[in-house]
Amino acid sequence: MQTILLLGSGKSSTYLIDFLADQAKSKNRKLILADIDLDSAQTKLRSRANTEAVKLDTKNDGKLADLISSCDVVISMLPAFLHPKVAQLALEQEKHFFSASYESPELKEMATKIKESNLFFLNECGLDPGIDHMSAMKIIDEAKQSGERILSFKSFCGGLLTPEHENNPWKYKFTWNPRNVVLAGQGTSRYIEQGRLKFVPYHKLFTRIDQFEFDEIGSYEGYPNRDSLSYRKVYGLEDIPTMRRGTLRRVGFTKAWDIFVQLGLTEDHYEVTLPEDFCMRDFFNTFLPYDPSRTVEEKLGDIFPALDFPTFEKIQWLGLFSTDPVPMRTGSPAQILQKILEKSWTLDPNDRDMIVMQHKFEIETHEGSKEVISSLVCKGEDSVYTAMAKTVGLPLAIAVDKFMDGEISLTGLHVPVIPEIYQPILRALEGYGIEFKEKMTISDPS
């Protein structure tokens, strides 16, 4: 009997757990689910055959090593900073390793030993990164096989709400780690446009926007991710003139969020301690100039003359002009803002989230220029069985399943950009409604 060790049973693990637990008996496998919250792990396993929940202590390397030694495959759904430790222990115990997270420098340093040990380590096999890689490489490989040249590739993704559940002015709630949302884009974003390198500093990020359209669900805007340039090599597009990756939000989101950036509410490099009687209005006012005769609202309008009502409404809806007490008195501005947002942006039990992803290609063909737009819309069921959990967990679960069945027979350190990995996963995902729709337009060169 083969044994799978899954570390972590958080929100994004729901579909992953169900997939592996449901097939454990029929495939003569055992699933061990390890989590710091043993009760939660037991609840999610639902006493299914060939499954076991154990308590996880990530600070006890000895116990973690013992857990890993008892399995054939390790899946890490822990916070990203723990992946190198888990991967190193898996390498030492000669166990295969899977994660949905980015391939870290520490993992890359293990590449030679992983190959020499005849092991398979797969990272970046979730949503973004993951489904974005696989769906893009399908189009890229097909174009190359036809002797075509890719001139432009833009790929944007977002975790949002279904249109019928966009019940606040932001049309947004947290479907992923709230801290990552608040700190998104900090640093400098880099991409290439028509052969020209472009760098976007954080204070300009939410003003450099692309527009995207999806059938039936409408318009979105996208801002650049931190580094699009490194993906030229990953995708085999080293000479491509235009390449940009980014994040999608509903139209109007970035204009309002940019106000928080410009004022400094997303700053995470220093800590403040607010007075005990501070209210939300006081907190917001600390980031505005002193003026004894102007209100908070008036001063905001003075600083941002282009402030319109939809943007003002978003800030007002969060309670930042109210006399409600601040939910947290000590922390960085970003941490305090996160606490404020968590009160308003947490999914209600019946809320349905939605994943939207779109690739835009410009391809030079023998017949002329071709535009390919490939779009994914995936809707969640409720606040537990979310589209985010589905699109993060299922690609990883399918990859593990295909590997253990021998359909993927590779060794070494990989991300899912080669056909032997992405083709069977994409085919299987279609059965779960995770399928891209393509539109193609060809321009006659004459």
In degrees, to the nearest 5, what angle opens at C-alpha 239 toward C-alphas 233 and 240?
95
Residues 6+ apart with CB under 8 A from 290: none
Q: What is the pLDDT of residue 280?
A: 97
**CB count in 10 Å sphere of residue 230:** 11
Q: What is the pLDDT of residue 316?
A: 98
For 131-256+349-386+436-443, which CATH class?
A: alpha beta
CATH architecture of 2-123: 3-Layer(aba) Sandwich (3.40)
Domain residues of the chain, as ranges?
A: 2-123, 131-256+349-386+436-443, 264-344
Q: pLDDT tens across 67-117, in order?
A: 999 999 999 999 989 999 999 999 999 999 999 999 999 999 999 999 999
- 437 pLDDT more than 60: yes
- 446 pLDDT more than 60: no
Better-scored residue on pLDDT, 95 or 177: 95
Give the Å distances, CA to CA, from 208 to 156, 224, 302, 357, 401.
14, 7, 23, 19, 41
Instruction: Check if 2-123 and 131-256+349-386+436-443 are the same fold.
Output: no
Q: pLDDT tens across 121-156, in order?
A: 999 999 999 999 999 999 999 999 999 999 999 999
Helix (H) or strand (E) holding 156: strand 149-161
Q: pLDDT tens across 420-434, in order?
A: 999 999 999 999 999
Decide: 11 and 174 in contact? Cβ < 8 Å.
Answer: no
pLDDT, average across residues 27-33? 96
Cis before 129 (ω within 30): yes
Residue 210 CA neighbour count, 13 Å, CB half: 21
- Closest to 152 measured CA to CA, from 189, 212, 192, 209: 192
The model carries a pTM of 0.92
Q: What is the pLDDT of residue 161?
A: 97
List, in sequence order, every residue forming a beta bridge with 190; answer none if it has no partner. Answer: 199, 227
Q: pLDDT tens across 148-166, in order?
A: 999 999 999 999 999 999 9
Q: What is the pLDDT of residue 444?
A: 65
Alpha-carbon span 250 to 270, nearest angstrom: 30
Residues 6+ apart with CB under 8 A from 394: 15, 16, 19, 429, 432, 434
pLDDT, average across residues 311-316? 98
The per-residue pLDDT of the chain, averaged, comes to 95
- 354 pLDDT more than 90: yes
Band (pLDDT 50/70/90 cuts) for residue 181 is very high
- 445 pLDDT more than 80: no
Q: pLDDT tens across 202-238, in order?
A: 999 999 999 999 998 999 999 999 899 999 999 999 9
